[in-house]
Structure 1
Amino acid sequence: MILDVHPAPLLERLVPSTSGDTFTVLDPSTGEPIAEVPRVDGAAVGAAVEEASRVLPGWAATAPRRRSEILAAAHELMLDELEPLAWLMSLEMGKTRADARAEVRYAAEFFRWFAEEAVRIGGELRTAPGGANRILTVHRPVGVTLLLTPWNFPAAMAARKLAPALAAGCTALLKPAEDTPLTALYLADLLARAGVPEGVVHVLTTDRPGELVERALADPRVRKLSFTGSTPVGRALLRQTAERIVNTSLELGGNAPFVVLDDADLDAAVEGAMIAKMRNGGQACTAANRFLVHTAVADDFAELLSARMAALVVGPGTDEATQLGPMVNARRRHDLATRVESAVGDGAKVHTGGAPLDRPGFFYPATVLSGVDREGVLSVDETFGPVAPIITIADDDDAVALANASEYGLAGYVYSRDLGRALAVGERLGVGMVGVNRGALSDPAAPFGGTKQSGLGREGGFEGIYEFLETTYLAADW
């Protein structure tokens, strides 16, 4: 079924009617309202937990094959409805149509991957070393889950959590970011049409997330929190979950180094940089945040990258010609401008961009800076946007030391014509994921996650479903 790609009928279908409180979703390309979405209150959160808890035993007891079939149906529906879903994401988040289409395909793969994993949840039988009994382990769903997703990948981050939770037999409360709730409402509608029983998935929309999360985590029936977002918020949530020892997974911020060694193929490195930096307009936790470039090739790299960045077509996300859409809101654009001004004040040179665009919406141009201070804000903190700071390095050891001088450890990238050298440097990076001579990392079949202040646990891959399962050990002697 292909939905009509037009605001009125699509939004009328998705947005629940309410006489209660609402909040406004804005189009970041214009700053104008798109829709009024319900602001759930404490009573609604409690009712959702109650229903999710009530239907949990039935969903957990559903045959793995049936859960698999439902997730496979969701995968097919997402691909069938790629255009309306991509258009909706471009509208509410501002990402380009090309990025949005790619995200729908990526998100759909999580439903396919975990459809396959649902029927492969393992267990173990072995003899105790002392010979007194057998050790039997089985896995069961952790229970009612609270899933908190960010605005930058509203379909993919929701699918990356919903798919393994449902595959494991859990019920889910999905709280999307206030900037992008419409995509989450679309996914809930799609899952219902794919066969997910009523009450298994609840979308809780609000622009007051602290109140909602506090209410949900105070309920002893909520046994799992999975959060993707900033490190400061992750720390606060971890303190909250500690009160009841809630099973917690955190995918937090990054400060990804993009290392260009002196023997790198610069054309390939720039191509990879455009993917690693400019996917989603730079608004990604895995985005290349610091370009650590050998001094011998730094000038050439800056020239090549600046030419590519300056040529990008800036415009509304919903326009087919757009290659760089807006920042998600005015606050993000202001933060970006402040960071660039600070770097320039510390002596950085602007090659292209460098100031907000004077037009409606929340636009910031693709920006390349060289001579960036190693201790400056663009080097130390995560920068969510199309800004590429170039920092020169002397050798491999300097690159590794600088790359690892960060509290974050999510992703990194290494470019060298010598594969062995690139792998050796990559293994030394204190991160959870490394792109070796490539600018794209994410794959539903691979474990996604970081080290240090970048989070706890892994999503995707074989590991992803076990984040939503508990292990029971049975001692038996026959």
Structure 2
Amino acid sequence: MILSNNTLLLTNGWINGAEIASDANFEVVNPATRKVVANVSDLTGADVASAISAADVAFQEWKTVPSQERAASVNQWASLIEDNAADLGSIVCRENGKPIGEATGEILQCAALLRWYAQEALRLHGSTLPVHDNQQRNMTIKQPIGVVACITPWNFPAAAVIVKAGAAIAAGCTTIIKPSDETPLIALAFARLSAEAGIPKGVFNVIPCKDPREVGDALCQSSRVRMLSFTGSTAVGKQLYTACGNTMKRIALELGGNAPFVVFADADLEKAVAAAVGARFYNSGQICVGANRFFIHKDIYAEFAERLTERVSRLKVGNGEDADTTTGPMINSAAITRLRQLVSDAVSRGAEILVGGAQTGGDSLLFPPTVLANMTPQMDASKTEIFGPVACLYDFETETEALELANDTNAGLSAYVFTGDLARLLRFSEGLEAGVVGANSANIFSNDLPFGGSKESGLGKEHGINCLEEFVETKSICIGL
């Protein structure tokens, strides 16, 4: 991989401000070309112990640094990310496969998030409470929780690191990052830049590894790790939730979704179709808030299906490094196999393929954007997070029916509704069992907007004006006079 700043391509772990090599390595492969991008050190539980010690020692100093100084370091980190956005975007594009425009956009969003966290660090304060006893005064203060373990996914390998570690560091915590083995390179590049930004050694540590179990167990079992933040599947999230119980860690979980996308007959159809393309096919559909189930009122079902199919047919599948690519590859062959099985099951039960539906051929990880009509709730694709470029269309007749169908899932991360009736828009949004609702919009991400799921889609919130609250303890101080 050729970069303008070759120091950003780290292939060793990062502990206490230095690279840590290993006798064993694992390959990072470009999903678009199936070629090896890098061989990365495969760290172990012993390395986790070193990282925990480094983070614990660093925390004793970092927690005392005034918020203005922490904010300045985080802002400098953001500036360095912006300065190196082209190289960092190239790293994400090659290890993840997503289109270069999306990859670079993700990097710039990371810088914006860091600036947001730096601002909020200045506003992280306690309170003095009304007097209830003339002989006593009461107050609260906010203190960083300690060492935070961050386990991050491959689908947004840059943003997930910054959402967790950036907020934790701004709040005064120290961090240990366990990135996905599919996409460890961007986390390591961020480590290099954090050091250049003046963030002290031990505050940001990265543990790349092929088998997550040993590293994950070590993080969960250590009493010196006071919090774990995880983004990934619901199944793994439940395992981590249980594993953290023995040490009573605080835990933040952003887990899987099965988002409904409901379109009523009075909706602006063109707006709804445009939003549907973004909500389903962005990042090749490999996104937790992706619209899985499209519930379309029967009176507009045929027209919606026709318009959506026409738009989807114009999407360009290919290598993310090509400027005209809109839909990159799936992350690995298991993802391709799963998509083929979901489509095959739906077709065998009566679904109709309107566009796409078949892998491009050979051992390629490219899967064409697909629209399936005549779907039913009994099909496998209705019950699971698809995580790929497949849109499933269902029809409905009444508002009550639509709400029941939309909420018929254990997931509750995101949901979407489109209607021209303001009263219905508010009523339906309030009735949807999801942590984030797009109401006549698919644009549900903003730095100032809390993000997180309900039901089995997670615990806690990221972003928003309270973004640092997950990483601090509120201490009550009662002063006798």
**TM superposition score normalised by structure 2:** 0.96
**Shift in Å, 1:91:** 0.6
Q: Which runs of 5+ in 2 are unaligned?
A: 13-19
Distance 2:22 2:383 in 1: 46
Q: Does the 8 Å CA contact 2:99/2:323 hold for their aligned counterparts?
A: yes
- The alignment partner of 1:356 has SS state of coil
**Shift in Å, 1:131:** 6.1
Q: Does the 8 Å CA contact 1:447/1:459 hold for their aligned counterparts?
A: yes
**Shift in Å, 1:346:** 1.0
Distance 2:464 2:301 in 1: 36
Q: Does the 8 Å CA contact 1:30/1:360 hold for their aligned counterparts?
A: no
1:56 to 59, 66, 69: 59
Structure 1 runs of 4+ off > 6 angstroms? none
Matches within 5 A, 1:243-262: 243-262=246-265
- The alignment partner of 1:464 has SS state of coil
Matches within 5 A, 1:67-82: 67-82=70-85
**Shift in Å, 1:129:** 4.5
Letter in 2 for 1:430: E
**Shift in Å, 1:14:** 1.7
Distance 2:53 2:285 in 1: 39
Distance 1:217 1:230 in 2: 17
Letter in 2 for 1:6: I
Q: Which residue of 2 aligns with 1:6?
A: 2
Q: Which residue of 2 aligns with 1:233?
A: 236
Q: Does the 8 Å CA contact 1:188/1:202 hold for their aligned counterparts?
A: yes
Q: Which residue of 2 aligns with 1:41?
A: 44
Distance 2:320 2:183 in 1: 14
- The alignment partner of 1:61 has SS state of coil
2:34 to 31, 43, 59: 31
2:462 to 449, 456, 459: 459
**Shift in Å, 1:171:** 0.4
Matches within 5 A, 1:211-222: 211-222=214-225
Q: What is the root-mean-square deviation in Å for CA atoms of aligned residues? A: 1.5
Letter in 2 for 1:422: L
- The alignment partner of 1:257 has SS state of strand
- The alignment partner of 2:478 has SS state of strand
Q: 1:131 to 1:429 in 2, by over 3 A?
A: farther
Q: Which residue of 2 aligns with 1:436?
A: 439
- The alignment partner of 1:76 has SS state of helix
Q: Which residue of 2 aligns with 1:376?
A: 379
More displaced stretch, 132-141 vs 369-378:
132-141
**Shift in Å, 1:47:** 0.6
Q: Which residue of 1 aligns with 2:342?
A: 339
Q: Which residue of 1 aligns with 2:164?
A: 161
Matches within 5 A, 1:279-428: 279-428=282-431
**Shift in Å, 1:7:** 5.8
**Shift in Å, 1:359:** 4.7
- The alignment partner of 2:385 has SS state of coil
1:190 to 188, 193, 200: 193
**Shift in Å, 1:431:** 0.5
Q: Which runs of 5+ in 1 are unaligned?
A: none
- The alignment partner of 2:284 has SS state of helix
- The C-alpha deviation readout for 1:373-430, integer Å capped at 9, x for no partner, is 1122111111100000001111211111111111011101111122332222111101
Distance 2:269 2:351 in 1: 22
Distance 1:399 1:189 in 2: 49
Distance 1:302 1:132 in 2: 71
Distance 1:95 1:12 in 2: 19
Letter in 1 for 2:279: A
Distance 2:38 2:259 in 1: 35
Q: 1:463 to 1:375 in 2, by over 3 A?
A: farther
Q: 1:162 to 1:217 in 2, by over 3 A?
A: same
Letter in 1 for 2:178: K
More displaced stretch, 130-139 vs 85-94:
130-139
Distance 1:60 1:317 in 2: 41
Distance 1:172 1:12 in 2: 20
Distance 1:425 1:58 in 2: 49
Distance 1:186 1:419 in 2: 46
